[in-house]
Structures are given as C-alpha cells and as structure tokens.
Structure 1
C-alpha cells in the first residue's frame, strides 16, 4: 500500500502528491509513447488520443510487472508542448485514484524520438510484499 503524505511547509499539490511512501518490490516502466502493438503512431496531432494510448501502454507494462495503477508511486511526463497537460491529466485521471494521486514531474522537451509524438510518460510502481 502506498501512502501519500502532505509535507509541512510545502504548498498543497494540485493533482499530484509531493511525497509517496511504499514498501515492497519496485517496478520501473520505461517511457511510453503513443505507439500501438505494431509500432504505429496512434493519434497523430491529437494529444488526447496519444495520451489515452500512452496510458493503455503503461497499463499493459504495469501488468507485465505484476502491478496496476494503484501501485504507481511516481509518473514523469515529457511533453513537446506544456499546453497538452489538460489532455494528459484527463487520460491519467481515468486510470488513477484522484484522491491519492502519485507523485509526478512534467517537463517540456524540444522533441521526442519521433516528430509526430507529443508526449512520453514513465512510471515507478511499488508492489507490496
């Protein structure tokens, strides 16, 4: 079980937790992008469609490691335009418990490995012993 702890003296978080503590086996998921099972881009030019595919890929990767979104302690977002964060958050909120969101970091980057990709998301999860 993961615990979200609001630290004293730090401004309240909106949509993420500042501190998440858990004990168990670590599951590390590489950055996922909007590629389908055959390696084709899903939702070219459509941030919402890409975000949904990214979170579906994350779900599948978590399952391969024996985890679910309930076990995610940290998400890191790499976006080519910070303006797509509302679409990313909507896809995330469809997958996580918004009352106990994971810790997160969002970074705008100049580019991803393919120009048609708008975002990449990596995850750290902790499976209880």
Structure 2
C-alpha cells in the first residue's frame, strides 16, 4: 500500500489546513499555485508576467520538495481570469521552465475569478517523482 506524504516547502506560504502537494507512490499532485510570496503577500499586483513568474517559482519549490522537477510533469492546468489578454505571456514564462521535449498534457481554463480579485493566475500540476523502476 502506498504511503501518502504531504508536501509543504519552507519557502512557500502555508494556507491553514492545506498542503502545497501530496505525494502518493511515484505521483506528486501539486495544489493550485498562486502568486503569493513566502509571507503570503501578493506578488505582481496588476502585472501578469510577475504573477506568472511567482506561480512557476512556487510550482518549482513544490516539485523539488516532492522529489520531482519540471521535466517530470505529466499534467498542467492553468486557470486565468482573462485568457485572451494573458495567455501569450503565460506561454513565454512557462517556456522558461518547461522544455518543449518535456511538455506535459495541458489545459487552460478561464474562470470568473480566483480567491482574490487581484490574483489573475493559478496553476496546478501532476508529476512523476522518485524512481519509477
């Protein structure tokens, strides 16, 4: 039976009662990452690029803490409040972290709003971690 390991990197803001990721066997499920700094402060108010960069930095922290990396992503889901405005910048930032040869299955979704009005992006992921032998 696989053990469930809850992941919460020290450099990530911890939402009460939630974990940044959950590892089960060789799979790591990453909770939706938003543009918050380590103290819970919003990064990039009014600046989508800064928000996207913080989201991917946070995602990288969870992946590393769970024994994985961007090259081991198998699914990426991004939630936007304005996909027509922000998708091109999202792709530019994403491509700094994810090489085309290692691109995961992906979905992008526009939503009416996220948990705070000034938050314009949330990204969740599934990755392979550890040895798969």
| Cα contact 2:28–2:126 (8 A) shared by 1 | yes
Q: For CA contacts below 8 A with separation 6 or more, give which structure has more relative contact order.
A: 1
For this pair of structures, how many residues does the alignment match?
Answer: 106
Deviation at 1:88, TM superposition (A): 1.0
**Which residue, 100, 108, 111 being the options, matches 1:109?**
111
The answer to whether 1:88 aligns with 2:90 is yes
Deviation at 1:25, TM superposition (A): 0.4
Q: CA–CA distance in 2 between the matches of 1:50 and 1:87?
A: 10
Q: Which moved more, 1:48-57 or 1:98-107?
A: 98-107
Secondary structure of the structure 2 residue equivalent to 1:27: strand
Aligned residues: CA RMSD: 1.0
Compute the TM-score of the two structures, normalised by the length of structure 1.
0.79
Q: CA–CA distance in 2 between the matches of 1:99 and 1:67?
A: 17
Secondary structure of the structure 1 residue equivalent to 2:78: strand
**Cα offsets for 1:58-108 (capped at 9, x unmatched):** 000111101100110110000000020111111110001113311100000
- Corresponding residue of 2:101: 99
Structure 2 portions without partners, runs of 5+ = 1-24
Q: CA–CA distance in 2 between the matches of 1:106 and 1:53?
A: 18
4+ residue runs over 4 A deviation: none
Secondary structure of the structure 2 residue equivalent to 1:122: strand
